[in-house]
Amino acid sequence: MVTAMKRSLLFLLVAMALTPLAFSPAQAQDRFFFDPFRRAPSQNLWPREAPGRAEPEVPAGESGVTHTSAEQADAQRATPATEYIVVVGDTLADNLAQGLADGFAADHPEVAIIRKTRASSGLVRNDFYDWPGQITGLLEKEKATAIALMIGANDQQALRDADGVHELRSDRWREIYVKRLDEMLAKLGQKGVPVFVVGLPSMQNARLQANMPYMNEILRQRAQNIGAYFIDSWEAFADDGGGFIFTGPALDGQTRRLRLGDGVHFSRPGARKLAHYLERDLLRLFEQRAAGRPFVPTTSAPDPGAAVPSPVSPLTPIRPVAGPVLPLTQPSGPVGQLAGGAKPANLPIDPAAAKILVDGKFPEAVPGRADDFRWQAVGAPLPAMQAAQPPQNSQALMPPLAPASLMPLSERDASAQKAKQAPGLMRPPSQQKVITIPEQNRLR
């Protein structure tokens, strides 16, 4: 009996030891332990997203596709392309190509965007990728109706050649860089289509931000030198002071994130906004080409034979700040007599009016009058009031009265009768009546 009980107890202990292995730790805890303070397990099996405001990066209806070649575009597109835009450059040019594809997808499906970009490339490290040496082969068999170049973001570094290492912004660095850029632009121009050079945007890094105006100045000069068109997009991605911004107004009117976290590349709305500045000139090119008119962009390129302009800042506006200065005190046209008008007659001017209105001299105030504001000396007698003189042309209402004591009785009665008939005239003292008010009726 004791042996059987021991066996049963041993079996129970083994079962209790093996039971947690058949369940997960949480299930075992739920089955065999009771904790009144433990909360019930959540029924949501999916991880919850981090709190925050989520906005779609790409507005609905904008989804363009870029192609690596015109042959690939013709094979993949449902709508045959009639315009081929070739975008050349580094990764910022790749963002530009995507923005152009998104912009033309809905309203202009006949436009195909061809990407010829290379990450981490530029004109300084030709040992990594030689753009002037490769560009001819890249475009030799490509269909192109316009070419867009965006390059220079990776060129903020020293340049090495056979003579040694040349620091950024040195004279030798600029000389070599300009030579390579001119060579590349000349080979792009051999395609016989309009070439657009897109300027660099602001950067988050302080060193890159300081060098962007210098790079844009070189790009603008060399583009104008060969007859290409420079597209300035600096103000679209900078604040009022020219500083870097992550978020800003997008083309849909909403404030969106325009740049990625690295402070260099563009988000999808930012790439769409960057492409908008080039898209305006491209649409103008398509319209004028269809109408048989020469292309006139928003910023016309100078004559290739003209002298190269002096260096200007990329922030300098193309349009003048103000128009011609016009003097406000001089007439703008010829001065003369009005048509059909006669010379006005010289009318006499009242001397008193001329003294006041022309000379600005006012008459002296009459002493004692209300407009006499002159200070009187302490203890000086007040000036006597001047008696008002009657008008020159006024007539007396009644003849002067003689004293009643010197008038005959008959004339005295006639004078009193006339005084009664003349209203508003004071009677002579002899004819006035004195009214006496009793003492008890007077006001106290």
Residue with tokens 């004819």: 431
| pLDDT per position as a tens digit, 264-300 | 999 999 999 999 999 999 999 988 888 877 666 655 4
Cα separation, 201 vs 92, in Å, equals: 10
Top pLDDT among 369 and 256 is at 256
**Contact predicate 296/218, CB 8 Å:** no
Question: Highest mean pLDDT: which of 28-42, 52-66, 226-240, 372-386?
Answer: 226-240
Residue 88, SS3 per DSSP: strand
| Least confident piece of the model among 309-318, 324-333, 365-374 | 309-318
Q: Please give the full DSSP string across 408-432, using - where no structure is assigned.
A: -HHHHHHHHHHHHHSTTPPPPGGG-
Ordered structural domains, the chain, with CATH: 70-290 (3.40.50.1110)
| pLDDT per position as a tens digit, 88-107 | 999 999 999 999 999 999 88
Cα separation, 258 vs 54, in Å, equals: 15
The residue among 184, 204, 121, 124 whose CA lies nearest residue 157 is 124
pLDDT in the model for residue 10? 73
pLDDT in the model for residue 146? 96
Using the predicted structure, report yes or no on whether residue 429 has a pLDDT greater than 60.
no
Q: Give the list of residues 6+ apart from residue 216 with CB closer than 8 angstroms, or none.
A: 199, 200, 232, 234, 314
Cα separation, 287 vs 295, in Å, equals: 9
Enter the pTM of the model: 0.56
Q: Give the list of residues 6+ apart from residue 123 with CB closer than 8 angstroms, or none.
A: 131, 132, 151, 152, 155, 177, 180, 181, 184
Cα separation, 279 vs 99, in Å, equals: 9
Residue 58, SS3 per DSSP: coil
- The per-residue pLDDT of the chain, averaged, comes to 76
* Cα atoms found within 13 Å of the Cα of residue 295, Cβ hemisphere only: 21
